[in-house]
Amino acid sequence: MSDLKRIGFIGLGIMGKPMAKNLIKAGFDLQVHSRSNGPVKELVALGAKETNTPAECAENMDAVITMLPDGPDSENVILGDKGVLSGSKKGAIIIDMSSIAPAISQKIASSCESIEVEFLDAPVSGGEPGAIEGTLAIMVGGKQAVFDFSQDVFEALGSSYVLCGNYGAGNTTKLANQIIVATNIAAVGEAFVLAKKAGLDPEKVFNAIKGGLAGSNVLNAKGPMMISGKFNPGFRIKLHNKDIRNSMLTGSNLGVSLPITSLVQQIIVSLVNEGKGELDHSAIANFVEKINDQSIS
């Protein structure tokens, strides 16, 4: 293990809690902070130390990891009153693993640099299963030297980790990832509705196509959920809505047209407005089922 041994971890939700557990298993000394007390107590029982504020969670730590819902949350927790930055020592590393707009990552990085604190934006893909198993794909933006120094942390959390560029590059890569995932889920939903409407068994269709060119991690992970009609959240629709919104905003800022993403955004917004934002994003298929009056399950 490198000299990165003492880690503060903030945000113990669906993703953050198992990630924090994996850091403890890997031998890191952890102190934690979260809005929900239950997960904090669970981590304390495994050896972590409880802290009362983000600033306290950062005190004397070699690095602080944040895993939060959206950009304003990262900005507030890191830069706000009693935030991580106010408690961080010089040379410490703040690793924001939240999926947020790249421009916010760049703003946070600038504030960190101004007081000699290092920063990486390092969003992840793999959902709750990947967080539990420690097989997340980690997309990183920042300095090469800081990335290299942090690799023991990434090894404890993921099966792959790639430095994609400077500050914000991790989150730009995550937006590209989320575009591919959302459009793929929508396509799988359409394909299964078509098959069911034609009188076929979607499970047999799934088994027939998963080994061919249409096969993908999305098909393997989300197809069975559509077929069963069970959408317990591994990654919620409302969070994918946030990611697609950030994709469209970033595209607009860069002058990039994203017509297919725009269509999927309308589907996702419709589902959120129907009260389905808490469902797993495989329930994007519900939109196709509804407009065709045809259930997949």
Distance CA 84, CA 75 (A): 10
State the catalytic residue, choosing from 17, 21, 174, 196.
174
Sign of the CA dihedral running 149, 17, 157, 114: negative
Residue 207: Cβ-neighbour burial (10 angstroms; 0-12, 13-18, 19+): exposed
Contact between 66 and 92 under an 8 Å Cβ cutoff? The reply is: no
Known catalytic residue: 196? no
What does the alpha-carbon distance between residue 61 and residue 45 come to, in Å, rounded to a whole number? 20
Q: Measured between alpha carbons, how far is residue 81 from residues 34, 72, 89, 103, 142 in Å?
A: 16, 13, 16, 21, 25
Structure letter (DSSP) for residue 255: T
- State the sign of the Cα–Cα–Cα–Cα dihedral 109, 11, 126, 145: positive
Strand, helix or coil for residue 267: helix
CA atoms of 176 and 65, how far apart (whole Å): 23
- Mind telling me the catalytic residues? 174
